[in-house]
């Protein structure tokens, strides 16, 4: 996902850049109010939304003061039968936002939850993140940033419905109340939302609304089955890869074996002879590379055509990365002066009574979602329509327009449900969307006029780049017999994921990518000198679920645990003492996990050991207490108890699912084979046969508990991942007597 250190103050440079997108689209939102009402009623919705019509609703001064992200017309459609359809301004790719945000809106609307449905949005300005000002699903911000937004949308819609009822009954709006999709007046008079919706469209949109006291919540906080659960569990859910347009063709791409390589020659005669192949196109690819797209009437003939290509690649001009050489280079860099992030006095290090010296190695990791990358592009005389599971539909729309030679307002991006992503569908360069548009444009130029769906195979996806960067950590720690840290000298070496992107201006400080160091030091008040090196390597890198915390949490939590062991202190008590009074959320999360797990009270079976870790990311704290063992030389994780502090919980089932999924993904980082390696510039892994992810048979029992809170929600998509690996490692260290310094684990 996106970095947690991107705060609510979105970079000004990015805001200015995105303003072009916003301005361009604003011109499309000029659907006359009367025409919009006719459209809404004709489609079966009395209060509804046509995309790019967020500004069509209302003409009063209050309406003008509201932003597109605040207008109910873009988000709420009420049919005459009372069905309420809520449009979600994010990508749904397993995190449950397609249920949680409708819950938030329906709470304030007083809707009948049995009649609430949801759908995904587009690149319309209304669906930009209300705090960041850009279209984005990332950084575990969907609920956090849109919680108040969707509450207000529900409250505004409710006020308009009440206003319509008051006008009909000639009553004081203050004398009316709402319940379960109805407005109720004196004497038991009732009107359903479906009855009132068309008249409600005539009501002004209130600028200010009074939100419910959380004590009156009926939906928020209740365990709620996801709206898409039945379709997903029965195989009826459609994803981006399932899009089918009339006459649609499918394209696959032969990509260079080395990143950035180009083509010397192409022999496509055999490919063109494959039945169903419509075109073979030489196309530019991401980062200056070249490739060949085979367009056919289905995936299989396109793949067979690609397999028949005879290609001669030119890679002499690009770096051929070798993992062994790269590690040696990183080790050499770690011994040199680097950019400083923290700069405490290291004088006490030499005279410290106790010392730890440690080196950690973290490999490249692929995102490997179940649904590989795909994008469908349909060109017309009026512009282009895209169907894609995008985390950044606004940016992708702008990038598509540039490739296609269109104005941004001529490109519509229909956001599709995605089968996972973990950050891979949010690329500043819009790589795979640009690729799909390039192919569609080239196909049209070759006389092929049809929608084109570009599909990546699993092998394309695993070998295709944009990995979690490889990192090396080196630490020297001096401490006393009580575990008091006197000096902590730490070095991180790894590629920057922000360099060269529009995030660079605000996310690179003093030469340090802030995503590489998030999670370091806090919540432990240790005197640390932290220096960082960001080498340039010919391997494309990107955020990966929980970003920098994927490696910083492991280094911090295993080292803290080692200090506790070497000073013969209980690891829980040691952490609680280190927190002091400054980190109550860490304290509460850890205590909850300890209490619910039975740590220190329950006798474990022979051969098992406890492991503990706690970490904050994306403003949420997750503590794990785990039970682990070693069987036949392999690490085994038996049980995980989680203590979670994410403030107010909208849907407990969503939080539980997110923590369970993140824990499983974190476990996958630990297992042998969970690494992307390169030899002579070529990625050695290609599919789940040689790139390991955790299987269902390896899933431990995961029990999730949340700390009660009424404070506004914080992120939950990613925070469950970082503390799993260190908690597991700490348990294994108690069994083997040796600290683990590398992911995936190497016990021998």
pLDDT band at 2 (very low <50, low <70, confident <90, very high): low
Helix (H, G, I), strand (E, B) or coil at 548: coil
Tell me the C-alpha distance between 169 and 155, whole Å: 21
Percent of the chain with pLDDT over 90: 91
pLDDT at 580: 87
Tell me the C-alpha distance between 250 and 377, whole Å: 10
More confident residue, 32 or 379: 379
Tell me the C-alpha distance between 132 and 694, whole Å: 34
Q: Is the pLDDT of residue 237 over 70?
A: yes
Tell me the C-alpha distance between 437 and 363, whole Å: 32
pLDDT band at 687 (very low <50, low <70, confident <90, very high): very high
Length reported for the chain: 748
Q: For 61-87, what is the mean pLDDT?
A: 92
Q: For 98-114, what is the mean pLDDT?
A: 98
Which whole-number Å values give the CA distances from 39 to 33, 56, 74, 195, 298, in the listed order? 10, 12, 14, 17, 36
Q: Is the pLDDT of residue 7 over 80?
A: no
Comparing C-alpha atoms, which of 87, 91, 19 is closest to residue 398? 19
CATH class of 240-317+373-455: alpha beta
Q: Are 722 and 341 in contact (CB under 8 A)?
A: no
Question: Which tokens is 70 given?
Answer: 């605040």
Tell me the C-alpha distance between 507 and 7, whole Å: 10
pLDDT band at 3 (very low <50, low <70, confident <90, very high): low
> What are the tens digits of pLDDT across the range 605-629?
999 999 999 999 999 999 999 999 9
Tell me the C-alpha distance between 377 and 386, whole Å: 5
Helix (H, G, I), strand (E, B) or coil at 745: coil
Percent of the chain with pLDDT over 70: 92
Q: Are 245 and 376 in contact (CB under 8 A)?
A: yes
> What is the H or E stretch that residue 411 is in?
strand 411-415
Tell me the C-alpha distance between 61 and 52, whole Å: 21
Q: Are 29 and 55 in contact (CB under 8 A)?
A: yes
Strands 452-455 and 411-415 come out as: unpaired
| Positive or negative torsion for Cα 329, 516, 289, 245 | positive
pLDDT band at 27 (very low <50, low <70, confident <90, very high): very low
Q: Is the pLDDT of residue 41 over 60?
A: no
Comparing C-alpha atoms, which of 621, 287, 729 is closest to residue 465? 287
Q: Are 290 and 262 in contact (CB under 8 A)?
A: yes
Q: For 353-357, what is the mean pLDDT?
A: 98
pLDDT band at 748 (very low <50, low <70, confident <90, very high): confident
Left if phi > 0, otherwise alpha if psi is -120 to 50, otherwise beta: which for 303? alpha
Comparing C-alpha atoms, which of 549, 545, 241 is closest to residue 370? 241
Which whole-number Å values give the CA distances from 604 to 80, 179, 202, 302, 628, in the listed order? 60, 51, 66, 55, 10
Tell me the C-alpha distance between 629 and 736, whole Å: 10
CATH class of 335-365+466-736: alpha beta
Q: Are 630 and 746 in contact (CB under 8 A)?
A: no
Is cis: bond before 386, omega within 30 of 0? Answer: no
> What are the tens digits of pLDDT across the range 297-349?
999 999 999 999 999 999 999 999 999 999 999 999 999 999 999 999 999 99
Tell me the C-alpha distance between 132 and 231, whole Å: 32
Which whole-number Å values give the CA distances from 69 to 53, 72, 148, 172, in the listed order? 12, 8, 11, 29
> What is the H or E stretch that residue 98 is in?
helix 97-109
> What are the tens digits of pLDDT across the range 461-486?
999 999 999 999 999 999 999 999 99
pLDDT band at 61 (very low <50, low <70, confident <90, very high): low
Helix (H, G, I), strand (E, B) or coil at 184: strand
Question: Which tokens is 585 given?
Answer: 């959320």
The residue whose two tokens read 């502090």 is 645
Q: Is the pLDDT of residue 684 over 70?
A: yes
pLDDT at 1: 61
Tell me the C-alpha distance between 557 and 590, whole Å: 13
| CATH 3.30.365.10 domain range(s) in the chain | 12-234, 240-317+373-455, 335-365+466-736
Checking 301-306 for CB contacts under 8 A at 24+ apart, the result is: 301/274, 301/275, 301/276, 301/277, 302/250, 302/251, 302/252, 302/276, 302/277, 302/455, 303/252, 303/457, 304/274, 305/252, 305/271, 305/272, 305/274, 305/276, 305/277, 305/280, 306/252, 306/253, 306/254, 306/271
> What are the tens digits of pLDDT across the range 693-720?
999 999 999 999 999 999 999 999 999 9
Q: Is the pLDDT of residue 282 over 80?
A: yes
Phi, psi of 511 (to 5 degrees): 80, 5
Classify residue 246 as exposed, middle or buried by CB count within 10 Å of its CB (0-12, 13-18, 19+).
Answer: exposed
Question: Which tokens is 342 given?
Answer: 């923290």
Q: Is the pLDDT of residue 39 over 60?
A: no
Q: Is the pLDDT of residue 242 over 60?
A: yes
Q: Is the pLDDT of residue 456 over 90?
A: yes
Q: For 26-37, what is the mean pLDDT?
A: 29
pLDDT band at 675 (very low <50, low <70, confident <90, very high): very high
Residue 692: CB atoms within 10 A of its CB come to: 19
Tell me the C-alpha distance between 636 and 93, whole Å: 29
Phi, psi of 48 (to 5 degrees): -155, -170
The residue whose two tokens read 């990509």 is 255
Rounded to a whole number, what is the distance in angstroms from the first to the last CA of the chain?
33
For domain 12-234, the CATH architecture is 2-Layer Sandwich (3.30)
Q: Are 625 and 727 in contact (CB under 8 A)?
A: yes
Task: Kindly report the average pLDDT of the chain as a whole number.
Answer: 92
Give me the residues paired with residue 293 across strands. 253, 281
Q: Are 282 and 290 in contact (CB under 8 A)?
A: yes
Tell me the C-alpha distance between 635 and 200, whole Å: 61
């Amino acid at each position: 996902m996106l970095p947690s250190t991107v705060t609510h103050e979105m970079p000004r440079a990015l805001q200015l850049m995105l303003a072009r997108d916003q301005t361009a689209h604003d011109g499309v939102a000029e659907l006359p109010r009367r025409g919009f009402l006719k459209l809404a009623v004709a489609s079966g919705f009395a209060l509804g939304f046509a995309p790019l019509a967020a500004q069509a609703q209302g003409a009063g001064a209050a309406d003008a003061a509201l932003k597109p992200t605040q207008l109910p017309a873009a988000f709420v459609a009420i049919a005459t039968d009372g069905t309420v359809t809520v449009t979600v301004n994010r990508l749904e790719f397993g995190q449950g936002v397609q249920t949680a945000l409708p819950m938030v809106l329906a709470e304030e609307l007083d809707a009948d939850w049995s009649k609430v449905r949801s759908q995904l949005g587009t690149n319309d300005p209304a669906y930009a993140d209300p705090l960041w000002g850009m279209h984005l699903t990332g950084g575990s911000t969907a609920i956090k940033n849109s919680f108040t937004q969707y509450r207000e949308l529900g409250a505004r819609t409710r006020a308009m419905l009440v206003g319509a009822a008051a006008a009909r009954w000639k009553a004081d709006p203050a004398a009316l109340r709402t319940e379960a999709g109805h407005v109720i007046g004196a004497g038991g008079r009732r009107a359903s939302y479906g009855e009132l919706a068309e008249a409600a469209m005539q009501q002004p949109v209130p600028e200010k609304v009074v939100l419910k006291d959380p004590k009156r919540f009926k939906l928020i906080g209740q365990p709620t089955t996801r709206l898409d659960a039945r379709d997903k569990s029965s195989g009826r859910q459609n994803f981006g890869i399932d899009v089918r347009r009339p006459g649609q063709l499918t394209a696959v791409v032969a990509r260079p074996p080395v990143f950035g390589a180009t083509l010397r020659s192409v022999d496509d005669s055999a490919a063109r002879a494959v039945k169903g192949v419509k075109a073979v196109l030489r196309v530019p690819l991401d980062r200056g590379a070249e490739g060949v797209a085979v367009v056919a009437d289905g995936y299989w003939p396109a793949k067979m055509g690609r397999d028949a290509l005879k290609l001669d690649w030119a890679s002499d001009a690009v770096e051929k990365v070798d993992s062994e050489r790269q590690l040696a280079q990183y080790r050499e860099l770690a011994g040199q002066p680097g950019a400083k992030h923290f700069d405490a006095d290291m004088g006490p290090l030499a005279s410290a009574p106790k010392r730890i010296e440690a080196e950690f190695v973290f490999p490249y990791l692929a995102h490997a979602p179940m649904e590989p990358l795909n994008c469908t592009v349909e060109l017309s005389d009026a512009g282009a329509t895209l169907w894609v599971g995008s985390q950044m539909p606004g940016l992708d729309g702008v990038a598509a327009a540039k490739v296609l030679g269109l104005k941004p307002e001529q490109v519509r991006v229909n956001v599709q449900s995605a089968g996972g992503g973990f950050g891979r569908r949010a690329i500043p360069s819009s790589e795979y969307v640009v690729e799909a548009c390039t192919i569609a444009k080239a196909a049209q130029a070759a006389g092929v006029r049809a929608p084109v769906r570009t599909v990546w195979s699993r092998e394309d996806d695993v070998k295709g780049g944009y990995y979690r960067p490889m990192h090396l950590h080196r630490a020297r720690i001096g401490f006393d017999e009580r575990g008091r840290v006197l000096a902590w000298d730490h070095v991180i070496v790894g590629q920057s994921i922000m360099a060269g992107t529009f995030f660079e201006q605000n996310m690179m400080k003093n030469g340090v990518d802030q995503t590489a160091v998030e999670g370091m030091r806090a919540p432990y008040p240790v005197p640390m000198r932290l220096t960082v090196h960001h080498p340039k390597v010919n391997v494309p890198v990107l955020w990966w679920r929980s970003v920098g915390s994927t490696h910083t949490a492991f280094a911090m939590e295993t080292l803290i645990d080692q200090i506790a062991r070497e000073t013969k202190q209980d690891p829980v008590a040691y952490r609680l003492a280190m927190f002091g009074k400054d980190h109550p959320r860490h304290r509460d999360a850890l205590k909850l996990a300890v209490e619910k797990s039975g740590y220190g009270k329950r006798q474990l079976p022979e051969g098992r050991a406890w492991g503990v870790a706690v970490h904050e990311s994306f403003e949420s704290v997750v503590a794990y207490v785990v039970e682990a063992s070693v069987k036949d030389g392999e690490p085994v994780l038996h049980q995980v108890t989680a203590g979670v502090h994410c403030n107010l919980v909208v849907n407990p089932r969503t939080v539980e699912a997110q923590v369970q999924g993140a824990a499983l993904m974190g476990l996958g980082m630990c297992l042998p084979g969970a690494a992307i390696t390169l030899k002579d510039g070529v990625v050695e892994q290609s599919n789940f046969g040689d790139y390991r992810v955790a299987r269902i048979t390896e899933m431990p029992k995961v029990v999730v508990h949340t700390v009660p809170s009424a404070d506004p929600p914080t992120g939950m998509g990613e925070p469950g991942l970082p503390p799993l690996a260190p908690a597991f490692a700490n348990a294994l260290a108690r069994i083997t007597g040796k600290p683990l310094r590398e992911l995936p684990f190497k016990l021998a």
